[in-house]
C-alpha cells in the first residue's frame, strides 16, 4: 500500500486561462506547432496484443530486467513527480473519501477544488458530434511538462521504453498527460494522436489504444473512462481518462443478464439491479475483436446523437457502455431542483459508482438512496433502452464498417436471446479513512 503525501499546490502556468495574469500565451513549451518542433518526450512503446490476457514483458534497450509492471510504475512515478512540482489545480490528496454503507458500496468523495477550479464546458451539450475548434481550449495548449510519456505501438514487436525520444511531428504522437483537475490518485489523460486535433468521438484506432493501455498497465485498480459530448465531456478534443481506485466500482459488482454471444465467444450482457441501464462487453478471442465490437457500438451511438459513457475494466477484458440522458432532462426541466443544487454532473466515474460531490452538505448526507436517485435520472427508460439496444445490434452486425446510416425502427420491446444470469462476485471492501487516500500498487 502506498500512502499519498500532501504537497503544496500551485496552478500550472500552462493551464491558466488565456489573458489571465501571468499566462505565457502559447506556453513557450506547449504541444502546439510553435513549440513542438525538435522536442523530445519519454516513449513507452507497447507490443500489440492478439489474445486477451496475453502474457507480456517489458524489455528496454538499456535494461532487459525491467519488471512486468513497468508501465504501472512509470505512470505512478511520473504523476507523483508532477504532484511534487505543483502542476495540479488543487491537492486531490486532501479530499475526504468514504465508502457509503449499503449493498452497493458507492464511493463518495468531497472535491470542492474540482468544482471551483475545473475548466468550464465550451460547447453545446445537445450534439454528440461537433467539429474541433482550435480557438477553444484543447490539449495542444498544455505544457510539455504536463505530459508523462508518449504511448505508441512498438516498431519491432517488443515492449520498450525510451527516456528521451524525439517527436516526429509528421506522425502525431499519442500522449499520456496529467489531469490538472484530478479526481483520484494517478488521474491521467490518454490523448490519441494529439497533433491531429481530433474531436471527442471514438474511432476504432483510438479505442484499441485505450484497451492496450489497460492491458499494459495490468492493474485491476486502474480503469479507463470515456465521456462523449452530451454526457459530460468538458473538452472537445479526443481523450480518455484513467485513474487508480483501490476498491471495486459498484457497477463492476452487479449481476448481468446475457443478451447474446457473438462469433468468437464475445458476450454482450445487460446490467441488472443497477440504477443506470447499460451493456457489458467481455470475452472474445482477441482484443481486436472486443475493441471493434465496442467501438462499432459507440460509433452507432455517436451517429444517432445518443450521449454515452464507457468504462474499461479488468485490464481491458470487460467494458461497460452506458447511454445516458441527464443533460437532455436538464434542458427539458425534468430534473428536480434538489438534484440540480448538488451541481453533480454524472459522467463515467459517477455512473460507475464513484460519486464526486462538490458540497460538504451532500458529502455528509451521502447515502445509498441519494446516490441511487441521482443515477436513476441518468438512465434511459426501459423502452428507449431497448430501442438503443436494437440500434447497437444492427451496427455490430454490420461487421466491418459498423458506422453506416442506421434508421431507428419501431422496437418490439424485446432483447434478442435474453438468457442466463451471472451472479455478482461479492468482494470485501476495505475501509477508506476520511482525508487519506491509499492505493495498492501491484509490483
Residue 150's contacts (CB-CB under 8 Å, 6 or more residues apart) are: 41, 42, 43, 44, 165, 167, 173, 174, 175, 176
| Sole residue written with cell 494517478 | 186
Q: Write down the catalytic residue from 187, 212, 237, 239.
A: 239
Q: Residues 6 or more apart from 233 whose CB is under 8 A from it?
A: 200, 227, 347
Contact 406, 394 (CB under 8 A): yes
User: How distant, in Å, are the alpha carbons of 143, 235, 240, 372 from that of 177?
Assistant: 10, 14, 11, 33
Assess whether 239 carries a catalytic annotation. yes
Neighbours of 129 (CB within 10 A): 14
Q: What residues have CB less than 8 Å from 400, skipping those under 6 apart?
A: none
Helix (H) or strand (E) holding 351: helix 348-352
Task: Classify the phi-psi angles of 215: left when phi > 0, otherwise alpha if psi is within -120 to 50, otherwise beta.
Answer: alpha
Q: Which of 288, 296, 335 is nearest to 316 (CA)?
A: 288
Rg (CA), the chain: 21
Q: How far apart are CA 392 and CA 406, in angstroms?
A: 9
Q: Determine the Cα–Cα distance for residues 219 and 237; give it in Å rounded to an integer.
A: 27
Name residue 268's beta-bridge partners.
260, 281
Strands (E), 103-193: 107-110, 147-153, 160-166, 175-178, 188-191
Please give the full DSSP string across 259-317, using - where no structure is assigned. Answer: EEE-TTSEEEEEE-SSSS--EEEEE-SBHHHHHHHHHHHHHHHHHTT--EEEEEEGGGT
With beta carbons less than 8 A apart as the criterion, state whether 386 and 410 touch.
no
Residues catalogued as catalytic: 239
Amino acid at each position: 500500500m502506498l500512502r499519498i503525501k500532501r504537497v503544496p499546490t500551485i496552478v500550472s502556468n500552462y493551464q491558466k486561462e488565456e489573458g489571465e495574469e501571468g499566462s505565457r500565451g502559447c506556453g513557450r513549451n506547449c504541444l502546439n506547432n510553435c513549440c513542438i518542433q525538435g522536442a523530445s518526450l519519454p516513449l513507452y512503446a507497447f507490443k500489440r496484443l492478439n489474445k486477451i490476457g496475453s502474457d507480456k514483458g517489458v524489455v528496454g534497450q538499456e535494461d532487459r530486467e525491467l519488471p512486468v509492471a513497468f508501465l504501472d510504475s512509470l505512470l505512478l512515478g511520473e504523476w507523483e513527480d508532477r504532484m511534487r512540482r505543483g502542476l495540479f489545480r488543487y491537492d486531490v490528496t486532501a479530499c475526504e473519501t468514504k465508502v457509503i454503507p449499503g449493498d452497493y458500496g458507492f464511493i463518495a468523495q468531497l472535491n470542492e477544488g474540482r468544482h471551483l477550479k475545473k475548466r468550464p464546458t465550451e460547447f453545446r451539450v445537445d450534439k454528440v458530434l461537433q467539429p474541433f475548434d482550435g480557438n477553444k481550449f484543447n490539449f495542444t495548449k498544455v505544457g510539455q511538462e504536463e505530459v508523462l510519456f508518449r504511448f505508441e505501438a512498438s516498431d519491432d514487436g517488443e515492449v520498450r521504453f525510451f527516456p528521451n525520444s524525439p517527436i516526429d511531428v509528421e506522425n502525431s504522437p499519442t500522449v499520456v498527460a496529467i489531469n490538472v483537475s484530478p479526481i483520484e490518485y494517478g488521474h491521467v489523460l490518454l490523448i490519441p494522436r494529439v497533433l491531429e486535433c481530433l474531436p471527442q468521438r471514438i474511432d476504432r484506432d483510438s479505442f484499441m489504444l485505450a484497451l492496450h493501455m489497460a492491458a499494459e498497465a495490468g492493474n485491476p485498480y486502474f480503469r479507463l473512462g470515456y465521456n462523449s459530448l452530451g454526457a459530460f465531456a468538458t473538452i472537445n478534443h479526443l481523450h480518455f481518462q484513467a485513474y487508480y481506485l483501490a476498491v471495486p466500482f459498484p457497477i463492476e459488482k452487479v449481476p448481468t443478464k446475457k443478451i447474446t454471444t457473438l462469433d468468437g465467444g464475445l458476450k454482450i450482457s445487460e446490467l441488472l439491479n443497477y440504477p443506470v441501464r447499460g451493456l457489458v462487453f467481455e470475452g472474445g478471442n482477441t482484443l481486436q475483436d472486443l475493441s471493434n465490437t465496442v467501438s462499432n457500438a459507440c460509433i452507432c451511438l455517436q451517429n444517432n446523437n445518443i450521449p454515452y459513457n464507457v468504462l474499461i475494466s479488468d485490464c481491458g477484458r470487460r467494458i461497460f457502455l452506458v447511454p445516458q440522458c441527464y443533460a437532455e432532462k436538464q434542458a427539458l426541466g425534468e430534473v428536480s431542483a434538489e438534484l440540480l443544487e448538488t451541481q453533480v454532473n454524472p459522467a463515467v466515474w459517477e455512473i460507475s459508482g464513484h460519486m464526486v460531490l462538490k458540497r460538504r452538505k451532500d458529502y455528509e448526507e451521502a447515502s445509498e438512496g441519494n446516490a441511487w436517485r441521482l443515477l436513476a435520472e441518468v438512465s434511459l427508460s426501459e423502452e428507449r433502452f431497448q430501442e438503443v439496444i436494437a440500434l447497437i445490434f444492427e451496427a455490430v452486425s454490420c461487421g466491418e464498417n459498423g458506422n453506416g446510416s442506421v434508421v431507428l425502427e419501431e422496437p418490439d420491446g424485446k432483447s434478442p436471446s435474453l438468457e442466463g444470469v451471472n451472479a455478482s462476485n461479492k468482494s470485501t471492501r476495505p475501509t477508506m479513512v476520511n482525508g487519506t487516500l491509499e492505493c495498492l500498487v501491484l509490483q
